[in-house]
Structure formats: C-alpha cells, structure tokens
Amino acid sequence: MIKLRSIYPIIALSFAILSCHTSTKTYTPADAHSHNDYKNSIPFYRAYDAGFGSIEADVFAVNGQLMVAHDEKEITPERSLKLMYIDPLVLKLKQDTARKLRLLIEIKRDYTVTLPLVMEELKPLSQYFDYPGHAGRLSIVMTGKVPPGAVMLNYPAWLNFDVDHVGGFTTPQLTKIGLVSVPFSRYSKWDGTGNIDQESIGRLNSIIDSAHTAGKKIRFWDTPDNPVCWKELIDLHSDVIGTDKINELADFLNKRAYLQ
C-alpha cells in the first residue's frame, strides 16, 4: 500500500511539469518590432504610439552625420537620425517615465566610421541607456555590418549588437549581444498560408532554443507578414515579432492579450 505522504511530491512535480508546458507568455505590442520603421508614412511616432517595444532605423555616415535610409539614393537632409529618432526619443522618454524601448540601428557601411558617430549623436539619450550597472529604459542595439565579437568589447557597455548566430562567441563577447536576428527563409520556405510543415518547425525550434540557451532574445526577419505567421511565431516562442504593418500587428496583439 502506497502511503499518501509518499505520493504528494510526485503530484506536486507533475503539476510543476504540466505548468511548465502549458504556461504561455502574454504577447503585447511591447514585444513587436517596427522593421525598417523609417519607410512607413509616419516614422517613429506610429510605432511608438502603438506601444511597440522595438524600432529599427538604417543609417549611413554622410559628412560626419548619421542619415536614415535603406539606399544611398534615398538620403535627404531632413532624414537624419537626430531629427527622425533621437530628438523624438528625448522628448518622449522624458514624458513617458515608464516606457521602455529598443532602438535597433542598422549599419549600412563601415562600422569604424558609423559607430563613433552613434556614440556622439546618442549622448542626449545617455541617461536612459539600459546596460549592466545602469538600469535604464532604452536599449541600443547595432545591427547590419557589425564588428566581429572581439572588437565589440571595445565599445561602451550601453552599445550592444545584433547577430544571426550565437556560436563562436566567448563568454565576455556574449555580453555584447543584445539580440539574435535571423532570416526566416533560412529555416523555412513557408509562405504564411495553410499550416507550417513540421520540418520547418523543427528547424525554427532549433535556432530559437540555441538563442534561449545562450540567454538571448531572438527575432526573425523576412517572415510572412500576416496574422497566421504572427501566431506561429508566438507559438514557437520567438521573443520579438517583426512587421511592416504596424497598426495591424498592434491590433492583433492587443486583441490576443485581451482574450487571454
């Protein structure tokens, strides 16, 4: 006869395991990323006011100034990083004292020229930077043509980097990785219609697990940009949901959070 006292730990462990597998994170617009934000009709403000937790801008270093553009031919005097993102952030973060944000800045050319300008131009935001030893509300993550891991350590603690893998970095170098971003098409050819195939799920789970094991958040880009894929990314536990459709994703996440 089994004593009741002996089965209590088993029952407790069973509930713990069940809870681990069934509990899910509630995704909100704070988990959303505005991909190529500067290309939408209202840069910065549309994503910020929708509650997005991550906003992306591509930059070129031009005559000692950071200019926002996807291609050089798009560069115009009024589209500087200062005017489009830094000045609005200074104002908004002062007003919204609880707001947190990740600013993802893509280096389009030589990092040795671009990063010194980033460090100079972002000084007005320094009080808000989030990094070890300084609990702030603004994370700065550089993406695109980033330096190799060993060189990343030469930059300030508040300046982190986005990479497409977690292998090959030393423990100190991993501290400079602020995000893992990988192309969805590297792991799946699914177009966002119907059900995703199990082989794709396996490959996607593998890279997600590797990022999470390293203690890093992961984002996919070049994804099918529709509710079917957004749901799939959430089910896979991708940490950041990217989009070019700011209002649509915000509505999707707000409704989903409400229903939960």
**pLDDT over 90 for what percent of the chain?**
88
Number of neighbouring beta carbons within 10 Å of residue 188: 21
For residue 6, is it within any domain? Answer: no
DSSP 57-86: EEEEEETTEEEE-SSGGG--TT-BHIIIII
For residue 7, is it within any domain? Answer: no
Domain around 38: 27-259
For residue 9, is it within any domain? Answer: no
At 25 the pLDDT is 87
pTM of the predicted structure, to 2 decimals: 0.89
For residue 214, is it within any domain? Answer: yes
Distance CA 109, CA 144 (A): 8
Q: Per-residue pLDDT tens for 167-214? A: 999 999 999 999 999 999 999 999 999 999 999 999 999 999 999 999
On whether the CB atoms of residues 138 and 68 are closer than 8 A, the answer is no
β-pairing verdict for 65-68 and 54-62: antiparallel
What is the CATH number for 55?
3.20.20.190
For residue 212, is it within any domain? Answer: yes
Q: What token pair was written down for 54?
A: 């991550």
**163 has which bridge partners?**
180
> What is the mean pLDDT of the segment spanning 224-230?
98
Total domains in the fold of the chain: 1
On whether the CB atoms of residues 57 and 104 are closer than 8 A, the answer is yes
Which parts of 23-152 fold into alpha helices (H)?
45-49, 81, 87-95, 111-121, 149-152
On whether the CB atoms of residues 238 and 220 are closer than 8 A, the answer is yes
Residue type, 148: P
For residue 22, is it within any domain? Answer: no
